[in-house]
Homo-oligomer: A and B are copies of this chain.
Amino acid sequence: MGMHQYLQGLNNLETLNRAPGLFKYQEHSVAAHSFKVAEIAQLLGDIEEENGQTIDWQGLYERALNHDYTERFIGDIKTPVKYATHELRTMLASVESSLTANFIKNEIPTFLQERYQRRLSEGKDETLEGKLLAVADKIDLLYESFGEIEKGNPENAFLEIFAESLKTIMRYQELACARYFIQEILPDLLSEDFADRGKLTQLVRQTLSE
């Protein structure tokens, strides 16, 4: 046993891609996603603190970092929206639970088991940190789908995923950070300057005339 297997296993989260089966210009691994969700959760925690809330930072980072670790066992099958039925989600919670219990029993040294039991259980709950994780997870999914749309992916599923992510974020509008995202960040996303042939021709004319 020992933690060598655990450390080497982190590599699986690098080779596991999200939302398999749809063509994407850019794939996103579970490892990269976890990094980004932690970065986003960190920002949401900032905004809540600036608005007078108290953040349990250890809890926030811990939830964000580990929230998809258990995808190592089954892969990413909760997305895209179209096939993520309620039936499927319930099943997964159940199977992931028992695979996780097995994993902890067999691969984690006894003196660390309690910590990993906590880390590998569901992080999205009614605490403030649990809510920030839920919002952060959706913000990353929103950016993943926006990334595909702005790169030219014609697949409609990305519009659906974007919309569904936004709806979920809107359900958390009692939180200052959710309001900040919708009022300060989302408008910049929609009105961002982007390159295209029209701008290129314009730029060339400008440059040649100087």
Please, which residue of chain B has its CB at the minimum distance from the CB of A8? B143
* CA distance in complex: A197, B158 (Å): 11
Within 8 A of B (CB), among A41-66: 42-43, 46, 50, 57-58, 61-62, 65-66
Residue of B whose beta carbon sits closest to that of A185: B4
User: B65 near A85 (CB under 8 angstroms)?
Assistant: no
Copies in the complex: 6
Asked if A73 contacts B62 (CB within 8 A), the reply is: no
Interface string of A128-154 (1 = CB under 8 A from B): 000000000001000100111111111
State in angstroms the CA–CA spacing of A148 and B20 once bound together.
Answer: 20
Contacts A21-B72, A35-B65, A77-B74 given; does A28 touch B2 at CB 8 Å: no
- Establish whether residues A73 and B65, one from each chain, have CB atoms under 8 Å apart when the complex forms: no
Assign chain A's interface to a size class.
35 or more
A175 proximal to B (CB < 8 A): no
Bound Cα distance A199, B38 (Å) = 30
A65 touches B83 (CB 8 A): no
Task: Confirm or deny: A40 has a beta carbon within 8 angstroms of a beta carbon on chain B.
Answer: yes
Instruction: Write out the residue numbers on chain B whose beta carbons fall within 8 Å of the beta carbon of A36.
Output: 10, 14, 31
Chain A residues engaging chain B, CB cutoff 8 angstroms: 2-8, 10-17, 20-26, 28-29, 31-32, 34-36, 38-40, 42-43, 46, 50, 57-58, 61-62, 65-66, 72-77, 83, 85, 87-88, 91, 94-95, 98-99, 111-112, 115, 119, 139, 143, 146-156, 158-159, 162-163, 166-167, 170, 182, 184-186, 188-190, 192-197, 199-201, 203-204, 207-208, 210
- Ordered by A's residue number, 10 sampled pairs between the chains whose C-beta atoms are within 8 Å are A3-B185, A12-B21, A15-B26, A57-B61, A149-B196, A151-B152, A156-B194, A156-B195, A167-B207, A170-B208
